Amino acid sequence: MSILDAVGGTPIVRLDALWPDTGVELYAKLEMLNPGGSTKDRPALRMVREALASGRIQPGGLLIESSSGNMALGLAQACQVHGVRLIVVVDEKTPDDTRRLLTVLGATVDCVTAPDPATGQWLIARLARVQALLAEHPGSVWTDQYHNLDNPRSHEDGTAREVMEALGEPDAVLVAVSTCGTVSGFRDYVRAKGLRTRVIAVDVENSALFGRAAGPRPIPGIGSSLQPAFFAPEEVEVRHVSTRATVGGCWLLARREAFVAGGSAGAVVVAARRVANELPKGSRVAMVLVDRGERYLDTVYDPVWVERELGSVSQCIDEAMA
Ligand X SMILES: Cc1ncc(COP(=O)(O)O)c(C=O)c1O
Using CB under 6 A, list all residues that contact ligand X.
40, 68, 70-71, 176-182, 221-222, 262, 264, 290-291
User: CB of 109: closest distance to ligand X in angstroms?
Assistant: 16
Which is closer to ligand X, CB of 61 or CB of 152?
A: 152
Residue 245 to residue 242: CA distance in whole angstroms: 5
Residue 322 to residue 318: CA distance in whole angstroms: 6
Which is closer to ligand X, CB of 16 or CB of 92?
A: 92
User: CB of 227: closest distance to ligand X in angstroms?
Assistant: 13
The residue whose Cβ lies closest to ligand X is: 221
Which is closer to ligand X, CB of 61 or CB of 272?
A: 272
Which is closer to ligand X, CB of 61 or CB of 102?
A: 102
Residue 305 to residue 307: CA distance in whole angstroms: 5
User: CB of 126: closest distance to ligand X in angstroms?
Assistant: 12
Which is closer to ligand X, CB of 22 or CB of 159?
A: 159
**How would you classify residue 15: left for phi > 0, otherwise alpha for psi between -120 and 50, otherwise beta?**
beta
CA torsion sign for 214, 220, 274, 37 is: positive
User: CB of 259: closest distance to ligand X in angstroms?
Assistant: 15
Cβ–Cβ < 8 Å for 16, 166: no
User: CB of 38: closest distance to ligand X in angstroms?
Assistant: 6
Half-sphere exposure of 279 (CA within 13 A, CB side): 23
- What contacts 24+ positions apart, CB below 8 Å, involve 293-297? 293/250, 293/254, 293/260, 293/261, 293/262, 294/97, 294/260, 295/37, 295/69, 295/95, 295/97, 295/98, 295/262, 296/95, 296/219, 296/250, 296/262, 296/263
Which is closer to ligand X, CB of 34 or CB of 178?
A: 178
User: CB of 152: closest distance to ligand X in angstroms?
Assistant: 8
Residue 98 to residue 220: CA distance in whole angstroms: 12
User: CB of 205: closest distance to ligand X in angstroms?
Assistant: 15
Cβ–Cβ < 8 Å for 91, 126: yes
Which is closer to ligand X, CB of 75 or CB of 290?
A: 290
Cβ–Cβ < 8 Å for 38, 31: yes
